[in-house]
A = this chain, B = another copy of it.
């Protein structure tokens, strides 16, 4: 194994996924996982799938020197700790929102004040399908938000092909699983309340709009519903092109954007039970399914992207970006293909 890695915030959900992926990665050795609440407990105490790992959580105050530090801490933590992180590691991959936006003003509009605005220009957004060329050699990487990732993957080909311009009204309706709320949760996350919901948890004003706007140059009408699954994010985007488009145009746009992408699969109305992108079909993987349909009655394009919010939408994207940053084979450690059948993973 060529690189050492640590995970700060290892007892949370995305921290656990980082540990799982990195411990099976051919090029990384995990040398530290921190957790304030579970210091000295085994990582299996938090994550039953990692009981075989001989690793205990350590205090986040004592960071070991590593090649790559992955920070899976709540929003607002990394910006305060970033100097310690960068002292401990050459490459820092942050999974929070702290370094995703490139302007202080944008950050202040959607979050609170930023403690280290000068780093916003330096940090590199992790999503390789959007940003591959910027990743090699990057030393501060910001993994994207899960809902933003799904939306960007669904809309990007239409923007790139000029089908969608900023004059168009785009409605995005994202359905997400309960892991998005993170470990802990409160009353609303308790199983009796959360089971079976179709809960409009962010009818308007979801912060991931900021990333979508920044990277696609679009103001989207964005709504997020919580539905009954644990992992998964599925974005349905309703687009009204200025000029009529054909199915062939759409195939061209999406194939052009994703044909060479190892983690994106086009699923657009073929046979079988799964005719469009489906989050449960990508659960546990770093894959995205992307697809589309054309509404002949009014020219609307409906496009879909389904991901695992904790992987392609967070920890998997982080490792993918780290692979690219370090020059490792980009799919390394991320080859799990998912299960069938699978219930509500």
Instruction: List the number of copies, as a whole number.
Output: 4
Question: Which partner residue on chain B sits nearest A219 by CB separation?
Answer: B298
CB atoms of B337 and A197 under 8 A apart: no
CB atoms of B339 and A196 under 8 A apart: no
Task: Confirm or deny: A39 has a beta carbon within 8 angstroms of a beta carbon on chain B.
Answer: no
Sampled A-B contacts (16; CB under 8 Å): A48-B278, A48-B281, A169-B240, A171-B171, A171-B173, A179-B341, A185-B190, A188-B273, A189-B192, A198-B280, A200-B275, A203-B293, A223-B236, A223-B302, A343-B343, A344-B345
Task: Confirm or deny: A89 has a beta carbon within 8 angstroms of a beta carbon on chain B.
Answer: no
- List the B side residues contacting A13 at CB < 8 Å: 192, 340-341
Task: Confirm or deny: A244 has a beta carbon within 8 angstroms of a beta carbon on chain B.
Answer: no
* A345: contacting residue among B44, B194, B278, B339, CB under 8 A: B339
Bound Cα distance A49, B286 (Å): 12
- List the B side residues contacting A345 at CB < 8 Å: 196, 283, 339, 342-345
Chain B's nearest CB lies how many Å from the CB of A205? 7
Task: Confirm or deny: A248 has a beta carbon within 8 angstroms of a beta carbon on chain B.
Answer: no
CB atoms of A227 and B204 under 8 A apart: no
Report which A residues bind B (CB closer than 8 A). 13, 16-17, 20, 24, 41, 44-52, 169, 171, 173, 175, 177-179, 181, 183-185, 187-200, 203-205, 209, 219, 221, 223, 225, 227-232, 234, 236, 238, 240, 265, 267, 270-281, 283-285, 293-298, 300, 302, 304, 306, 335-345
CB atoms of A177 and B51 under 8 A apart: no
Query: Majority SS of interface residues in chain A?
Result: loop
CB atoms of A306 and B191 under 8 A apart: no
CB atoms of A50 and B340 under 8 A apart: yes
- List the B side residues contacting A275 at CB < 8 Å: 200
Bound Cα distance A135, B234 (Å): 41
Answer whether A272 and B192 are a contact pair too, CB < 8 Å, given A284-B284, A297-B219, A337-B52: no
Bound Cα distance A339, B24 (Å): 13
CB atoms of B184 and A187 under 8 A apart: yes
Chain B's nearest CB lies how many Å from the CB of A310? 8
Answer whether A273 and B339 are a contact pair too, CB < 8 Å, given A175-B175, A281-B49: no
CB atoms of A179 and B203 under 8 A apart: no
CB atoms of A294 and B228 under 8 A apart: no
- List the B side residues contacting A179 at CB < 8 Å: 192, 341
CB atoms of B198 and A229 under 8 A apart: yes
CB atoms of B196 and A194 under 8 A apart: no
- List the B side residues contacting A273 at CB < 8 Å: 48, 187-188, 193
Bound Cα distance A185, B345 (Å): 21
CB atoms of A198 and B221 under 8 A apart: no
